[in-house]
Structure 1
Amino acid sequence: MSNLNPLFAVIIFVIAYFTAYIINLKYKVTYNTSSRYESVDGLRGFLAISVFIAHSSTWYQYIQEGKWMSRSYLYSQLGSASVAFFFMISSFLFISKLLNSVEKDFNWKSFFISRVFRLAPMYYFSVGLILLFVMIITDWKLKSGMFEFFHEMFLWGTFTVIRDTAINGFALTYLINAGVVWSLPFEWLFYFNLPLISLFILKIKPSVFYILLSLFFICGYFYIRGINIQHMLSFVGGALGAIVLKYKLLKNAENVVYSVLILVCLVLIGQFEKSTNMPCKILITIIFLLISSGNTIFGILKSPILKLLGEISYSTYLLHGIVLFTVFYFGIGLEKAKMFTGSKYCMIIFLTTPIVVIVSFVGYKFIEKPFMEISKKYF
């Protein structure tokens, strides 16, 4: 079997699903259906595993050719389109909150604190693992000087909003977590845009402090990083989903015709190399509008197992690359792995898949969830 064979992706997903099923026998995910979006929760489960599958395929290309790239549109989109969907979900959830708070005084302090408690603990845990791996690889010796080292850690400590960088001269730092942190600055950019967006939605406007805070962050971000329209359009797609749902612009979304349309769009997405292609972005947006309006793709997205995978998706996103790096760099060794046949490589990934799901679940249960509970209790 080849790492580019579609069956490779199917088997990984089946293994991940079965692992989550075993976990779910003891850990039951409970939902408040009046405040959660069932189809979107199920979608997140697909997306997290899809990113893992994409990077599992890419790792083979890296081992064989030394290039971090995919030679398959399908596997490229499993990563690229999945992140676009993640951006849409973030936008959908928080624009929906604003639309449902039109008459209320939105608590911006609580919002930003909750975002820190939601994203920071698992992120810093993953960065701690990256730092540990780098120091082990570099024999616990500073290669770039103390000042440069602390500067590198500062850049990572700010969610790489300014830029990402190698740590302690280890050029493959990005490889440790499969480079997934690139998406987090876009998340923070969206969060800091919300006070400005709320000016057009809420009757009780944000205070001058939060408006200035937003302007300061946004101007600084664009000055340092520039404007990336393609990824920003994903957040626009999510906002459209919130508007369509709020004002019931798409009725009877849960029907066979729309489910078939979603499947057709998914097939068409696979014909593009990247999700940033405009026709591809439109297809992704169509799918999201249907799912966020309640379509569950023939009931698949109602699965409690997918919801569990969705619950642990942030941990999966941040930790799956670290697990892969551990397996191939420390466990097997890159030179030895280079001698593997395609079938043997695939078997290693199949055996690694349950580890990724279990590690993600443990990360969610003991790092993510406790801090989320603290945020709810005190803020």
Structure 2
Amino acid sequence: MNNLNPLFALLMILIACLTAYFINLKYKIKYESSRYESVDGLRGFLAISVFISHASVWYQYIQEGKWISKSYLYSQLGSTSVAFFFMISSFLFISKLLNSREKEFSWKAFFISRFFRLAPMYYFSVAIIVLFAMGITHWELKAGLFEFFHEMFLWATFTVIRGSSINGFDFTYLINAGVAWSLPFEWLFYFSLPIISLLILKRKPSVFYVLIGVLFIWGFFYVNGINVQHLLSFVGGALGAVLLKYKPLKNVENPVFSILILICLVLIVQFEKSTNMPCKILITIIFIFISSGNTLFGILKTSTLKLLGEISYSTYLLHGIVLFVVFYFGFGLENAKKLSPSEYCQVVFLITPIVVLLSFVGYKCIEKPFMDISKKYFNKN
């Protein structure tokens, strides 16, 4: 077996699910009635898929020093999963606006809750990245104090302006597998919502929030340029929300829809990246079916996948750090290079339960407490 064999991905998924199953025996998730069951299950699969993709790419990096995937399957496990994450964000919050059409929508509560949701775990992961980068560079400032604080500012703002190495360590992105790149797009979408809401809500947002949204969007595109393909993912999620609200699909749990999803998944693997337009259309079709309630023969509504979905943000931010610790600090890149493909796969299989367990701890000890604080604050006000 090697890192490009489909069996490698399948076994990682099975190990992750088995680990989550045992965790779930002790920890039962309480879902609100408003939650979208199939979407929650999908989220669990996506986070593990990104982990699998990066585990495969790490072997390529160790052997050749190139952060690339030589397999369409493993490339798509990463890029398509992120496209689905964008769609989920868009689907959930456009649905929220559609369901609040006649009501007062609190933008203050929205932005504060988003910060409490994303920031704590992100800053925890950034703290680890900074400690590792400083340790690797022997705790000596390489470019001066001002430059160091500038780097910290860029990371503190979710790399919205741009990513940056830390203290001269050019391979800082390796520490977390470069996953922070997607978070600026999440914030771009959040700041776009006041403008989008002008077309949806009867009670329009104040000029303040619209202006803030316009300024953020202008600044984002001015610095980063316009990436239409990633923006289309958010459009796909919004389309799913609109269809579910006004023209819901009937009999969506029919096996025919599940078979169509599987066919689309097979077709997606024929493309190198999710940014290809036909590929994006296929991803959107799959998402519309799932967001409309299809659970893929019941798989997406299992408690195991829903648990993985609940801890998916921690998984997304921490899995790269675990891989880095094992292969950079644990084995050392030179020794890791001596691992046979089969030995490398075995090491990753042993890592997989650790990633799931750490993600669960991250969710339980960091994510959930801050989400609860946010809810309690707004319930009092």
Q: TM-score, normalised by structure 1?
A: 0.99
Tell me the residue number matched to 2:14: 14
Distance in structure 1 (CA, Å) of the matches to 2:75 and 2:9:
12
Tell me the residue number matched to 2:251: 252
**What residue identity is the alignment partner of 1:288?**
F
Tell me the residue number matched to 2:4: 4
Tell me the residue number matched to 2:131: 132
Q: Secondary structure at 2:199's aligned position in 1?
A: coil
The yes-or-no answer on 1:30 pairing with 2:21 is: no
Distance in structure 1 (CA, Å) of the matches to 2:368 and 2:321:
20
Distance in structure 2 (CA, Å) of the matches to 1:165 and 1:185:
14
How much has 1:30 moved relative to structure 2? 1.4
**What residue identity is the alignment partner of 1:23?**
I
Give the length in aligned residue pairs. 378
Q: How does 1:213-292 map to 2 (within 5 A)?
A: 213-292=212-291
Distance in structure 2 (CA, Å) of the matches to 1:342 and 1:161:
37
Distance in structure 2 (CA, Å) of the matches to 1:38 and 1:156:
33
Q: Deviations over 1:221-246 (max 9, x none)?
A: 11111111000000000000000111
**What residue identity is the alignment partner of 1:297?**
L
**What residue identity is the alignment partner of 1:345?**
Y
Q: Deviations over 1:258-280 (max 9, x none)?
A: 00000000000000000000000
Tell me the residue number matched to 1:313: 312
The yes-or-no answer on 1:358 pairing with 2:324 is: no
How much has 1:251 moved relative to structure 2? 1.4
Q: Deviations over 1:262-306 (max 9, x none)?
A: 000000000000000000000000000000000000000010000
**What residue identity is the alignment partner of 1:27?**
Y
Tell me the residue number matched to 2:169: 170
**What residue identity is the alignment partner of 1:245?**
L
Tell me the residue number matched to 2:180: 181
Tell me the residue number matched to 1:73: 72
Tell me the residue number matched to 1:98: 97
Of 58-67 and 245-254, more deviation after overlay is shown by 245-254
Tell me the residue number matched to 2:338: 339
Of 327-336 and 241-250, more deviation after overlay is shown by 241-250
How much has 1:102 moved relative to structure 2? 0.4
Distance in structure 1 (CA, Å) of the matches to 2:173 and 2:37:
34
Distance in structure 2 (CA, Å) of the matches to 1:299 and 1:21:
16
Distance in structure 2 (CA, Å) of the matches to 1:249 and 1:375:
32
Distance in structure 2 (CA, Å) of the matches to 1:24 and 1:168:
41
Identity within the alignment, %: 78
Distance in structure 2 (CA, Å) of the matches to 1:217 and 1:148:
24
Distance in structure 1 (CA, Å) of the matches to 2:267 and 2:51:
21
Distance in structure 1 (CA, Å) of the matches to 2:315 and 2:134:
24
Tell me the residue number matched to 1:194: 193
In structure 2, list runs of 5 or more residues that go unmatched.
Answer: none
Tell me the residue number matched to 1:157: 156
How much has 1:252 moved relative to structure 2? 1.4
**What residue identity is the alignment partner of 2:95?**
S
Segments ≥4 residues shifted beyond 6 Å: none
Distance in structure 2 (CA, Å) of the matches to 1:375 and 1:263:
39
Q: Deviations over 1:40-98 (max 9, x none)?
A: 00000100000000000000000000000000000000000000000000000000000
Distance in structure 1 (CA, Å) of the matches to 2:116 and 2:57:
32
Q: Deviations over 1:165-208 (max 9, x none)?
A: 10000001000000000000000000000000000000000001
Q: Deviations over 1:315-350 (max 9, x none)?
A: 000000000000000111100000110000000000
Distance in structure 1 (CA, Å) of the matches to 2:131 and 2:21:
32
Distance in structure 1 (CA, Å) of the matches to 2:71 and 2:242:
35
